Structure formats: C-alpha cells, structure tokens
Amino acid sequence: MTKIITLLLKRRCKFPTSIGLILSLVTLGIVSTWQCTQASTPRNSQLSRKSTSERVAARKYAQNAPSELTNLLTQIDTAATQGDIKKVIEFYSPSFTHGDGLNRQTLEKALVDLWKRYPKLRYSTQLQSWQSQGNGIVAETVTNITGLPSANSNNLSFNATIRSRQRIAGAKIIRQDILSERTLLTSGSKPPQVDVKLPQQVQVGQQYNFDAIVQEPLGDEFLLGTAIEEPIKADKYLNPTPVDLELLNSGGLFKVGRAPSTPGSQWLSAVILRGDGMTMVTQRLQVVKK
C-alpha cells in the first residue's frame, strides 16, 4: 500500500475543473478529459423535501407555460440524451451568448468532445418559472444529467444538477446564465462519500470556508487529495487543468479562501482518492458586489 501511495503522490492528472456545465436551455454538461474518477448525489431528508417541493412547483409552472416552451424543453432533453449535436445546436441562435463567455461554436465543440467520452448521458429538465419579456420568454430551469460508467469514459460516471436562466425568442436560445451548479464524479469500487460545505454566494473580497469531509471511517487507509479554485472562463470549458494530489493528514480537505475583488463566478473543486476509489465534487461560487 505504501508503494502505491508513493507512486500516486508523483502522479499528475488532468481533471475536469471545467465541469462547469453549459447546458442549453436545460444546460448541457461539459466534462473535460479526466483519466482518474464519479458520483452518487448524497441524499437526506432535507434534500428529499426540497426536491419534492421543486417538483410540485415545476408541475404548476409546466401546466401554465406556453406549449412552445414545454415542447422546446422536451425536444432539447431528447436530442441531448440521443447525443444528436445537429439537433441540439439548431435550438441556439447564431448570436447566442452565455454568462461564462461561451458562444454557439464553442458550445458545439465542447459537446462533441463530451459525447465522445460519454455516449449515454441522460438529460432531464424541470421548468421552475417563466415570464414573457418583449418578444421572447425568460425561463428558469433545473437540469439533472446522469452518466453511468462505460469503457469510453474510463469507468467514470457523474451526476450533475444545474439551475439556469435563459432567454428564448423565435424558438431559439438567445442568452443563458448559470445560477448554480453542483457536480459529483466518482470512480472505483468504493469512492469516498464526501460532504462539501461551501456558500453559494459571497461578496467581493470576503473570506469563506471550503470543506470537503469524508463521511465514512478511514481505518488504516491513506487519502490523497487537493482543492482547486478557478475563475470561470470560456477557455476553461475546453482545457482541463493538471493538478497534484497530496497526502491528506485528516479525513478530508479544509481550506479558507478569499473572494476576488471583482464580481464573477468561481469553480471550487475537491478531489479525494483512496485505494479503491476517487471522488470529485465541483460547485459554483457566485461573487457579487457588496
């Protein structure tokens, strides 16, 4: 075991810190090359109650929403699940813009790369709210994306939940902004169960805590890991970041960060590995003006 840990400590891996996840009207996830990791979303009674209330609200909005909007959501889910890039891109305006700096061309390239590695992703979107605005509609949605291990993905699977706001006009997506996102990736026979504590929003210059705590007892096992903080930019969706794993002295990662001096969004990721599995958790942190 000691020899394995020594070898791992010398290893640099490319992780999808660009997991930040564009997703069409429903948010279409982007995952860069990662040769090591997947995830099962932690469940508890509070999350279950929240999910139930969100489903009830989603059904109410869906019942009152224009048919062209609900049909559009269904069509995008279907095309994305089928991995049909031509159909998916048809739902975007040639002048499409994104809060993270993406455009129609970079979105298409990222999706093509993603679906080569993950040919069996499943997309499911719920409409949270909508309103008419000028000649279009502004809609908020929550999308769940799930992927099971496969040979193409190096036995990596993931579970992502993304809340987004988009403007639609003429059955085309004109603009999209990601409001919140959380992605869990794991691989191996027994990936660590990790509980992440991170605020969803902080003010510019504010100090915050980022904790990733392994839930189960470790016994004599070693843990390797690292925490990654990156500003969200368009090029980060396409270029993975190499990172070094370090031997952890406790049951998780415990970091203190400070928000940048300008508003924007950050990806915060925790990567934790042990002998029989690896887990990566990525969340979006919004940095706002005071």
Q: DSSP string covering 37-52, please?
A: --------HHHHHHHH
Note the pLDDT of residue 40: 32
pTM score, two decimals? 0.77
Please answer whether residues 149 and 156 qualify as being in contact, where contact means their C-beta atoms are separated by less than 8 angstroms: yes
Provide the residue type at 76 as one letter: I
CA–CA gap between residue 244 and residue 9 (Å, rounded): 8
Of the listed ranges 36-50, 81-95, 238-252, the least confidently predicted one is 36-50
Terminal Cα-to-Cα distance of the chain (whole angstroms): 49
pLDDT at position 94 over 50: yes
pLDDT band at 34 (very low <50, low <70, confident <90, very high): very low
Question: Residue 107: which domain range?
Answer: 2-288
CA 204 to chain centre: 23
Q: What is the mean pLDDT of residues 63-75?
A: 89
> Based on C-alpha coordinates, what's the Rg of the chain?
19
pLDDT at position 45 over 80: no
Provide the residue type at 105 as one letter: Q
Q: Six-digit token pair at 290?
A: 């005071």
pLDDT band at 36 (very low <50, low <70, confident <90, very high): very low
Our count of domains for the chain comes to 1
The rounded mean pLDDT for the chain is 79
User: CA torsion, points 33, 37, 38, 44, in degrees to nearest 10?
Assistant: -130
Note the pLDDT of residue 232: 84
CATH label of the domain that carries residue 267: 3.10.450.50
CA 284 to chain centre: 8
CA 112 to chain centre: 17
Of the listed ranges 208-217, 237-246, 258-267, the least confidently predicted one is 237-246
Burial of residue 7 (CB within 10 Å: 0-12, 13-18, 19+) is exposed
Please answer whether residues 258 and 276 qualify as being in contact, where contact means their C-beta atoms are separated by less than 8 angstroms: no
